[in-house]
Structure 1
Amino acid sequence: MVRPFGDYTLLRRLGQGGMAEVFLARADRASTGPKIVVLKRVLPHVSRNRLLVELFLNEARIASRLASPHIARVYDTGRVAGWDYLTMEFVLGVDLARVCARCRPSAAARLGPGAVVRLLADVCAGLEVAHAAVDDDGSPLGIVHGDVHPHNVMIDFHGVAKLIDFGVAQSTYAAPDAAPRGTYAYMAPEQLLGASFDRRADVFAVAAIAWELFAGRPLFRRSANYLTVRAVVEDAPPPLPSNLGDAAPALDGVLARALAKSADDRIASCGDLATELQGVAARFGWDTSPHALAAPFGELFAAERTALRDAVTRSGKASFEDWLFDLAPEVDVSWLLPG
């Protein structure tokens, strides 16, 4: 499926959402920066709707202003033959949904509770940068990610979590849109109900992910969307499992406040949520250093890491990017791609 696209060569199609298709791409004319990127290109029917195109470009406008090791970078935007596109950092790793699927009975049990707190702290750090962003005049941009869920959190093979997909983010750049956008099971009640919302909606989403990582199952997801919405709006989070020992009630208290139905009753910021989770970890002696996540994560995906290292070594290339840059299109690399 290799074909040219402006200054890029599309190497492999990674997937498709409601607005765009996603490719692994080679930057053919890049003198600096990465040789391998992710290229998102609007679908033909979307390109005819300027409001939807603005929503797509909103991601580039927002993410390009955010500098954090916990946010995937956006490099370029443009239009080729009527196709709007953006390019962003290719994170060599897996998304959090894939981590959850591999961790039984839960991520906390498989990786360790300290590793889970480290991962959540990384996500919170990225969101804090987004929430604090200002424009060139120093005025707050009012960025809210608005769609924090396991598929939008990547963990690279060094064990560092990165946020992706600011496509539905709220900000001063965003085009007006009355329809709630996001993933129902992780949206705050006020966001789901179409009311105004702020950074505390992202606090709610991170807390829903936290509960899932400790409990081993999604908190609010139900068999139908209307049941999921009802659960988000009405259901209190049940107690975490007893295998967390005395830490369970302490975590329950933090997450209950982060998941408060009213934003006014909720923990005020992602930074405060991270501080409270790290406080619980310190109380129970959990290691929340970067190594605490990197080591068990590396073991969990040891087969993929070994296969990648061996493939690069056999090729004689100096780096993963060089190997992938020259890789024949018929070679299957689905095992190392996100998702």
Structure 2
Amino acid sequence: MLLPVEDLVGQKIGDYHLKQLIGQGTLSAVYIAQGQGGEQQVMLTVFILPSDCKGAARERFMTRFMRQAGALRQLQHPYIVPTYDFGEALGYPYLVTPLIEGETVASFLKRKERCSPELMLALLRQIAEALDYAHNNDVIHGTLKSSNILLVRQGGPDGLYSVMVAGFGLAHMLEMNGIGQVAHQYPSLFSIAGTLLTNPIYIAPEVVLGGAFDARADVYALGILVFEMLCGHPPFTSTDPFELVQKHVEERIPSLQVVAPEISPALDIALQRALERDPALRLQSAGKLVSAFERVMNVMEEAARPPVQTPGTPLPMKIHLTLVNTLPPDDSSENVVAMPGITSSHIHKVSSSFPGNTLQLQSIPRAQSLPLGANTQAPASTIVIPEKGQSGPFPSTAWARESSPVQIIKPEPDLAAGTTSKQAALPKEQQPSSRPDMGRRRVVMAVNGTITAAVLAGGGFSLLKLVQNGTIQLPGIANASKPTNNPTAETAPVISRNKPAKNAALNFTDPLTHKESILLHLPDDKLVAYDRACTHEGVLVTYDPKTGKLVCPRHHAQFDPQRAGAVVKGPAQRPLKPIAIHVNGDGSITRGAS
């Protein structure tokens, strides 16, 4: 019979004497331990298996535990908490890691509320380096969260923070999949003890729906962590963990601009690329998120510097911007101890079973597929566009899909240099002060009081480029100065520069109605588009390539895109609203007339 975890103090586990119990949860207990010969103190975590995990199920667990622990011990990286030893003793599997005292990102945010963008980027570089190293060695974190990120001061209390990431591999090591069963709509979310494997605040939508924990799920969790660092809180909160996981599937991550308007829109656009609900559209590595933020912040810093003017150099009277794509798409006190064991004090345990003991739980509606699409839009910004020049499209629709809507204002013809007719009509003392001249090599564009220096497009970063002539044309706005609801072939708003892959879909915002919409490339090579709002309760539908149907994730209504969006299965009674589109000779798809 196993000794209770409280009675293990004073016992020997492997080569280590347990000195003090410092933490305990449903899945694990953590001790301060000392090696033989009075070596440095370490942290030893024992894992608590449920009593009915025995026989073949226990053998399967121990085989997986030893394999995963062996992989963890091979990880040698300055930003990863190392695994010194592992094994089984007194009936408990165990891991040995260093005893590290330090603040976590979670406790830091409780003290400071949020991180500056500069501090966030400094921490992100280290966390991302650790993640990419582990991913390259076939180890997935799976439980990334703010309380797993240790902050250790280097060089004293005023030194720079160094990061150490704890908890690698525990999701795979402790998951119920492959060991036993949980009778639940989301069985892949549970541990061998019937508790949630990880904090639902950080869980990727595809994992909720039964997909595997992989590198892209870690990137999503990292994006949530960055959101939390910048805003001081995560994007979704709920006292019900299963309501929370459904939010990740059914709702879009709020824009940083909505939650924290003082944050640059460019940072929000960078972040949203890590938070795509479709893992195929998401940034595929943590390092790419770092690169996106670095490029944004470098350009913002450059744009904020005062221009250097060469004497005698004439300044252009009219300078404006275009976007040039430059990359391919692609609990606790102040001082705490990092505990690699998963605890579940905030999550109610559910009944688990090993073969022969399955308990049916209360049904919770499950989304059948992943609703993809645009993220929450921020309030409209304003850009002043010079009168002359020809419109030119952006290289990608991603920016229009993911950023704030922009209101285009075209000034009236100049009466004098830099003066509009409305200004000329004012008494001199009431006229707005003239703007300072802008240098030929840099320009500062004020957007709602925030400097917007760059944006991401198609997974890459778009630098601002100064040009002498031309106007900004936004995807989805055919003519900046003369919007129309009846676009012609020349002025039609662009939905996509390319067709989606066959039997695939692209979500977009209808440039005429500003509603969430979906473009489908059907198996018969036909292109169609529909309003995504389910006609039952307005929940956004998604395309299921297996059935070829548009499906409501909440009430499971189905619509046939081959038959004008006709209802195949209720409770919806009306078909989806079709959207007129036009396929152009260059392969681009534009919005047709209503």
Task: Report if TM-score (shorter chain) is over 0.5.
Answer: yes
Q: Secondary structure at the match of 1:207?
A: helix
Q: Structure 2: 5+ residue runs without aligned partners?
A: 1-5, 155-160, 180-186, 190-196, 303-332, 340-594
Q: Deviations over 1:30-72 (max 9, x none)?
A: 7xxx712110112264674344445554552232121111110
User: Given the superposition, is the C-alpha separation of residues 336 and 208 from structure 1 closer, same or farther in structure 2, using an over 3 Å criterion?
Assistant: closer
Q: What is the one-letter code of the residue matched to 2:104?
A: D
User: Given the superposition, is the C-alpha separation of residues 248 and 50 from structure 1 closer, same or farther in structure 2, using an over 3 Å criterion?
Assistant: farther
2:144 is the alignment partner of 1:148: yes
Name the counterpart of 1:99: 108
Q: What is the one-letter code of the residue matched to 1:35?
A: Q
Q: Secondary structure at the match of 1:263?
A: coil
Per mean C-alpha deviation after superposition, the further-off stretch among 202-211 and 73-82 is 73-82
2:26 is the alignment partner of 1:18: yes
Q: What is the one-letter code of the residue matched to 1:154?
A: L
Given that residues 27 and 49 in structure 2 are in contact (C-alpha distance below 8 angstroms), is that contact kept between their aligned partners in structure 1? no
User: Given the superposition, is the C-alpha separation of residues 54 and 160 from structure 1 closer, same or farther in structure 2, using an over 3 Å criterion?
Assistant: farther
Q: What is the one-letter code of the residue matched to 1:120?
A: L
Q: What is the one-letter code of the residue matched to 1:151?
A: S
Q: What is the one-letter code of the residue matched to 1:150?
A: S
Given that residues 147 and 166 in structure 1 are in contact (C-alpha distance below 8 angstroms), is that contact kept between their aligned partners in structure 2? yes
Choose which of 214, 223, 226 in structure 1 pairs with 2:239. Answer: 223
Q: Structure 1: 5+ residue runs without aligned partners?
A: 134-140, 287-302, 305-334
Identity %: 27
User: Given the superposition, is the C-alpha separation of residues 197 and 73 from structure 1 closer, same or farther in structure 2, using an over 3 Å criterion?
Assistant: closer
Q: Secondary structure at the match of 2:107?
A: helix
User: Given the superposition, is the C-alpha separation of residues 101 and 207 from structure 1 closer, same or farther in structure 2, using an over 3 Å criterion?
Assistant: same
Given that residues 188 and 208 in structure 2 are in contact (C-alpha distance below 8 angstroms), is that contact kept between their aligned partners in structure 1? no
User: Given the superposition, is the C-alpha separation of residues 249 and 263 from structure 1 closer, same or farther in structure 2, using an over 3 Å criterion?
Assistant: same
Return the alpha-carbon distance in structure 2 between the equivalents of residues 237 and 282 of structure 1: 25
2:337 is the alignment partner of 1:337: yes
2:59 is the alignment partner of 1:43: no
Q: CA deviation at 1:79?
A: 2.5
User: Given the superposition, is the C-alpha separation of residues 76 and 285 from structure 1 closer, same or farther in structure 2, using an over 3 Å criterion?
Assistant: same
2:310 is the alignment partner of 1:266: no
Given that residues 104 and 151 in structure 2 are in contact (C-alpha distance below 8 angstroms), is that contact kept between their aligned partners in structure 1? yes
Return the alpha-carbon distance in structure 2 between the equivalents of residues 73 and 126 of structure 1: 11
Higher-Rg member (1/2): 2
User: Given the superposition, is the C-alpha separation of residues 95 and 51 from structure 1 closer, same or farther in structure 2, using an over 3 Å criterion?
Assistant: farther
Per mean C-alpha deviation after superposition, the further-off stretch among 4-13 and 123-132 is 4-13
Q: CA deviation at 1:124?
A: 0.6
2:136 is the alignment partner of 1:128: no
Q: What is the one-letter code of the residue matched to 1:157?
A: R
Q: CA deviation at 1:262?
A: 0.1
Q: CA deviation at 1:336?
A: 5.4
Given that residues 185 and 229 in structure 1 are in contact (C-alpha distance below 8 angstroms), is that contact kept between their aligned partners in structure 2? yes
Alignment of 1:165-314 (within 5 A): 165-170=167-172, 176=178, 179-180=188-189, 181-241=197-257, 247-285=263-301
Q: What is the one-letter code of the residue matched to 2:284?
A: A
Given that residues 59 and 165 in structure 1 are in contact (C-alpha distance below 8 angstroms), is that contact kept between their aligned partners in structure 2? no
Structure with the bigger RCO (C-alpha within 8 Å, sep 6+) is 1
Q: Secondary structure at the match of 2:170?
A: coil
TM-score between both structures, scaled by the size of structure 2:
0.43
- Which structure features the higher share of helix residues? 1
Given that residues 257 and 268 in structure 2 are in contact (C-alpha distance below 8 angstroms), is that contact kept between their aligned partners in structure 1? no
Q: Deviations over 1:9-40 (max 9, x none)?
A: 2222221233221112222337xxx7121101
Q: Deviations over 1:96-116 (max 9, x none)?
A: 211121122x2x2xxx32111
Name the counterpart of 2:12: 5
Given that residues 15 and 23 in structure 1 are in contact (C-alpha distance below 8 angstroms), is that contact kept between their aligned partners in structure 2? yes
Q: CA deviation at 1:234?
A: 1.9
User: Given the superposition, is the C-alpha separation of residues 4 and 197 from structure 1 closer, same or farther in structure 2, using an over 3 Å criterion?
Assistant: closer
2:153 is the alignment partner of 1:157: yes
Return the alpha-carbon distance in structure 1 between the equivalents of residues 236 and 66 of structure 2: 30
TM-score between both structures, scaled by the size of structure 1:
0.72
